[in-house]
Amino acid sequence: MKVAYLECFAGIAGDMFLGALVDAGVDPAMLQMTADSLALGVTLEFRKVDRSGIQSTKARVLLHGVDADAPATSHNHHHDRHNDGHSHAHTHTHVDEHGVAHTHTHEHSHAHAEQKPHVHGRSLSAIRELIQGASLTARARRIALEAFARLGAAEAKIHGVPVEAVHFHEVGAVDAIIDIVCSAAGADALGVEAWYCSPVNTGSGFVDCAHGRFPVPAPATLELLHSVPVYAAGPAKEFTTPTGAALIAALGCRFDPLPTLMTERTGYGAGTRNPDGFPNVLRLRIGEVQCAGGRNEEKKETVTVLECAMDDATPETLAFAAQSLMEHNALDVMQQPVFMKKGRQGTLLTVICHPEDSTHLQQVLFRETTTLGIRIRHEERAVLDRQSIEVETEFGKIRVKLGLRDGIVFNVAPEFEDCRRAAEARRIPLKQVMQAVLSAFAKAQEVVATR
């Protein structure tokens, strides 16, 4: 199984993640095309730099030729470039007289530029529209949307405002949008099946912001790092930013002990600064997971389970909701009759999905059903490797889905849609086609075994 492993010994920020992706072989031209599709007037710059003797790649986001996160800008969205170890912009939010929350970032390297007057910025809904219109694969788009959903939810919870009331300042929002969207595109381009992550170094000490001093990690970062193993080491500085933490969450990173990894590629993403004796880099390793004896490691993955029970939903509503959930990338949808309060018969609707699809599928549930609340939990599941082959039958070529582990076939299933089309075309029972497919597969296996 091909996996990626993030080593966050110097924390993680959006620019460091982008740099590590390019250093590991992701095409910078593809990332620039992704940025161009957002129509924000941005140019990406990647260059080799030295960080404590380590050759690494530094990523910069240039807005009309000017650094989108330049230290001279006092209102720089929420996000990035790490403090000291990495030049870092810190978030703060305030609520205006109309009840709208405005999120800003102040660049801090122990000295702040003079504050500028407040201006309105991009809302989360506006950012989502940008992402929906970008040139992205379905998976990359889901990662980007999930990252911003988590950022918005963290800010909203901290400041006690609705998610849609959170606004991101114009200049800083551009920097964050590019970092997140291009990171999502680059992560998808690696073609890995799972992301692993080391415990995350948050740093320590305090950061100075417009509303006073905050302990590290800053509130938004801490909110995003719930259920993530963290520690503090090195200089008393801030090492992990909200954007970096949001990317870890959106990628569905596992924090299990890393299985035996045959590393194929390594990438180093550089922070802005180069402190003495501290390697200010994010390391990314890509390779195949194996265990002793060369056999494949048991394949496990973390999934999110969404669950709700309703006693006032019609069968038509539930059937349509289940179909919509599957069309929006749910892994499985199940319905179970249950008895609810006052002896009323209801339906328990359970959705299994990848963690990065959770937020979007929750919206589908609220939109298409009568539920007022959704239970959310994360579970680990063991899965077989999957493979699709074609077998020749008297009804033509039919695909067969295989479930394997260590090359051993555990499950064989004819592709239903192929069988249905063959049955309808010849006006014969579906089961006749499926039996013919299984027979053809068994004969093909016998031929292979005798060679």
CATH number at residue 405: 3.10.20.300
Q: How far is CA 410 from the centre of its chain?
A: 31
* CA 104/CA 60 separation, integer angstroms: 20
Lowest mean pLDDT among 92-101, 186-195, 298-307, 441-450: 92-101
Query: Do residues 340 and 290 both lie within one domain?
Result: no
HSE (side-chain half, CA atoms, 13 Å) at 41 = 9
Q: Which residue has the higher pLDDT, 138 or 295?
A: 138
Bridging pattern class, strands 66-67 and 281-289? unpaired
CA distances for 440 relative to 227, 236, 433, angstroms = 49, 66, 11
Element (H, E) at 332: strand 332-339
What mean pLDDT do residues 435-440 have?
A: 93
348 and 394 part of one domain = no
Q: What is the pLDDT of residue 449?
A: 54
Do residues 119 and 250 both lie within one domain? Answer: yes
Give the least confident one: 28-42, 89-103, 298-312.
Answer: 89-103
Looking at residue 200, its pLDDT comes to: 96
Higher-confidence position of 279 and 277: 279
Question: Which position has the higher pLDDT, 295 or 27?
Answer: 27
pLDDT in tens, 195-242: 999 999 998 988 776 566 889 898 889 999 998 999 998 888 889 999
> Which alpha helices (DSSP H) does 207-303 contain, by range?
219-224, 242-250
Q: Inform me whether the pLDDT recorded for 320 exceeds 90.
A: yes
pLDDT score of 159 more than 60 = yes
Round to whole Å and give the CA distance between 104 and 127.
Answer: 15
> Angle, nearest 10°, between helix axes 138-159 and 242-250?
130
Q: Do 399 and 415 touch, CB atoms closer than 8 A?
A: yes
237 lies in the same domain as 214:
yes
The stretch 255-283 carries a mean pLDDT of 89
Lowest mean pLDDT among 109-118, 138-147, 379-388, 428-437: 109-118
Question: In this structure, what CATH number is given to the domain that contains residue 325?
Answer: 3.30.70.1380
Last residue of a domain, one of 363, 382, 401: 382
Span 274-299, average pLDDT? 76
Which residue is listed with tokens 């008297």?
Answer: 394
For 347, the token pair is: 């339906």
Do 359 and 393 fall within a single domain? no
Q: Which of 1-5, 90-94, 148-152, 267-271 has the lowest mean pLDDT?
A: 90-94
Domain termination site, one of 294, 316, 350: 294
Query: Buried b / exposed e across 37-53, counting CB within 10 Å, b at 16+?
Result: ebebebebebeebebee
CB 106, CB 75: distance < 8 Å: yes
Spatial distance between the Cα atoms of 47 and 15, rounded to a whole number of angstroms? 12
Average pLDDT value for the chain:
83
The string of DSSP letters for 96-113 reads -TTS-EEEEEEEESS--P
Beta bridge partners of 24: none
Query: What sections of 204-345 are H helices per DSSP?
Result: 219-224, 242-250, 315-327
70: helix, strand or coil: coil
Sheet holding 385-393, edge to edge: 385-393, 396-405, 408-414
Share of the chain above pLDDT 70, in %: 83
Whether 180 and 246 map to the same domain: the answer is yes
Same-domain check for residues 195 and 274: yes
| Mean of pLDDT values over 427-449 | 86
3-state helix, strand, coil in the chain (%, to 5): 35, 35, 30
- Of 364, 382, 400, the residue at which a domain comes to its end is 382
Per-residue model confidence as pLDDT tens digits over 30-72: 999 999 999 999 999 999 999 988 999 999 999 887 877 654 3
My answer on whether 114 and 211 are in the same domain is yes
Residue 95 sits in which domain range? 2-294
- pLDDT at position 171 over 50: no
Task: Kindly state whether residues 279 and 307 are assigned to the same domain.
Answer: no
Residue 211: the pLDDT is 60
Distance between CA atoms of residues 323 and 352, nearest Å: 14
Residue 36's pLDDT is 96
pLDDT band with cut points at 50, 70 and 90 for residue 136: very high
0.85 exceeded by the pTM?
no
Q: Which pLDDT belongs to residue 376?
A: 94
3-state secondary structure of 152: helix
- State whether 368 and 273 are in the same domain: no
Residues 245 and 110 in one domain: yes
Instruction: Indicate the number of domains in the chain.
Output: 3
Are 219 and 345 members of one domain?
no
| Paired tokens of 126 | 């506006």
The model's confidence at residue 175, banded by pLDDT at 50, 70 and 90, is confident
- For residue 135, pLDDT over 50 is answered with yes
What is the structure's pLDDT at 257?
A: 78
Q: How many residues does the chain have?
A: 451
* Residue found by looking up tokens 């030729």 in the block: 65
